[in-house]
Amino acid sequence: MELLAERIREAAARRRPLRLRGGGTKDFYGNEPRGDLLDTRSHAGIVSYEPTELVITARCGTALSEVEKILAENLQCLPFEPPHFGPGATLGGCIAAGLSGPRRASAGALRDFVLGARIVDGRGRALAFGGQVMKNVAGYDVSRLLAGSLGTLGLITEASLKVLPRPAAELTLRLEMPQERALEAMQRWAGQPLPLSATAWRDGELLVRLSGAEPAVRAAAARVGGEPLEETPWLAIREHTHPFFAASPLWRVAVPPVAPPFALPGEQLLEWGGALRWLAGAGSADAVREAAQRAGGHATLFRARDKGGGAFAPLGAAAMRLHRGLKAAFDPSGILNPGRMYAEL
């Protein structure tokens, strides 16, 4: 850890940008990474894990698969089902990217499960925020601010996450319906006390996953209807190995779930009860961003050869001022992953 801090202090002194990187599985995400490589994988290992405390603490370079394995051995899981996007994914990269998977709409987002973090800021200072307990309101919630900050505020060297028991039973149902009806159905179910844990719609096919205690899943299945699926695509959807995600450019559009279907060219895959809409091979960036904004949401250019227009939805002037202020507070020399999130940061 001291080595990582030393590298950051040195880079700050020379004002040389650093590109913080674990397994590099999310290099494609955000704007193009630049700067001297700072590989986090040497700082690895699970620091503590006690299943009855529902908390795991691990260093940034720990393989995400190792974290998930030890949780699975204890019948627990990371409830937000983070995508790995490759075998080398690390815990630090996972938190810095802040991405959540299929269970997000019901279980919550990655940031909801962050309890604490140790970081090295842009001045090379080792700092600790939050902790290993579920409820903690001492000081500003810096560890959650770090989630999804793409390494632009600090190097997350260690993190504590809340974990949950794995559901005892799981069942995926398949129904056929057009997008509009699927959206309606997903909203109707989400307003009922059903153990929904994932939904996905594509091309007239709606998949619904139920997770929980066996009797609850059984009762809910009767209400949802459809036919049970033996082989489910959730992993392929999470990891983008599903053929839908091969197209380029790929847009990730987040909207309020009640937003009507997008009338945009290209293919669509919906998740999170309609709140996440993947658009493959859609038209111009302007058209996608505008449609997202009109629906009360925002669009991210997730995968594309050219991200010249920026990966993320532009911020308003007031929001950008706050972002720049925070960046300066954490990383006054501007050396940590510069430009990865926004050109100004």
Partner 1 sequence: MGSRLSVVSALRAFLPARAVLHEEEDTRPYECDGLTAYRQLPMVVALPETEEQVRRVLQACSALGVPVVPRGAGTGLSGGALPPGDGVLLSMAKFMRVLRVDARARTAAVQPGVRNAAISEAAAPFGLFYAPDPSSQIACTIGGNVSENSGGVHCLKYGLTLHNVLRLRGYTIEGEPIELGSEAPEAPGYDLLALAIGSEGMLMVVTEVTVKLLPLPQCARVIMASFDDVEKAGQAVAAVIAAGIIPAGLEMMDRPATHAVEQFVGAGYDLQAAAILLCESDGAPEEVDDEIARMKAVLSEAGASRLTVSRDEAERLRFWSGRKAAFPAVGRISPDYYCMDGTIPRKRLGEVLRFIAAMEQKYGLRCPNVFHAGDGNLHPLILFDANDADQLHRTELFAAEVLEKCVEVGGTITGEHGVGVEKINQMCVQFRPDELELFHAIKRVFDARGLLNPGKAVPTLARCAEHGRMRVHGGKLPHPDLPRF
Give every CB contact of residue 19 below 8 A, 6+ residues apart in sequence: 33, 34, 35, 36, 37, 38, 337
Min dist. Cβ of residue 61 to partner 1 (A): 23
Q: Tell me, by CB under 8 A, how many residues bind partner 1.
A: 84
- Which of the stretches 16-24, 102-110, 173-181, 242-250 binds partner 1 when contact is defined by CB under 8 A? 102-110
Phi, psi dihedral angles at 229 (to 5 degrees): -105, 135
Min dist. Cβ of residue 191 to partner 1 (A): 6
Residue 238 binds partner 1, judged by CB under 8 A: no
Which one among 6, 36, 203, 214 touches partner 1, defined by CB under 8 A?
214
Which one among 85, 129, 234, 244 touches partner 1, defined by CB under 8 A?
129
Min dist. Cβ of residue 313 to partner 1 (A): 4
DSSP letter at 336? B
Nearest to 198 by CA among 102, 100, 107, 277: 102
Min dist. Cβ of residue 231 to partner 1 (A): 26
Residue positions counted in the chain: 345
Distance in angstroms (rounded) separating the CA atoms of residues 65 and 202: 28
Which one among 13, 72, 258, 290 touches partner 1, defined by CB under 8 A?
258
- Which of the stretches 3-11, 31-39, 63-71, 97-105 binds partner 1 when contact is defined by CB under 8 A? 97-105
State the residue for tokens 């393989």.
63
Residue 139 binds partner 1, judged by CB under 8 A: yes
DSSP letter at 23? S
Tokens for 90?
Answer: 């690390």
DSSP letter at 288? H
Residue 222 binds partner 1, judged by CB under 8 A: no
Residue 294 binds partner 1, judged by CB under 8 A: no
As beta bridge partners, residue 7 has none
Q: Contacts with partner 1 in 3-42 (CB under 8 A)?
A: none
Tokens for 160?
Answer: 């504590």
Contact present, 92 and 60 (Cβ < 8 Å) = yes
Residue 134 binds partner 1, judged by CB under 8 A: yes
Distance in angstroms (rounded) separating the CA atoms of residues 236 and 200: 12
Residue 54 binds partner 1, judged by CB under 8 A: yes
Min dist. Cβ of residue 124 to partner 1 (A): 11
Min dist. Cβ of residue 275 to partner 1 (A): 5
Distance in angstroms (rounded) separating the CA atoms of residues 199 and 191: 14
Which one among 149, 172, 211, 232 touches partner 1, defined by CB under 8 A?
149
Which one among 142, 208, 264, 291 touches partner 1, defined by CB under 8 A?
142
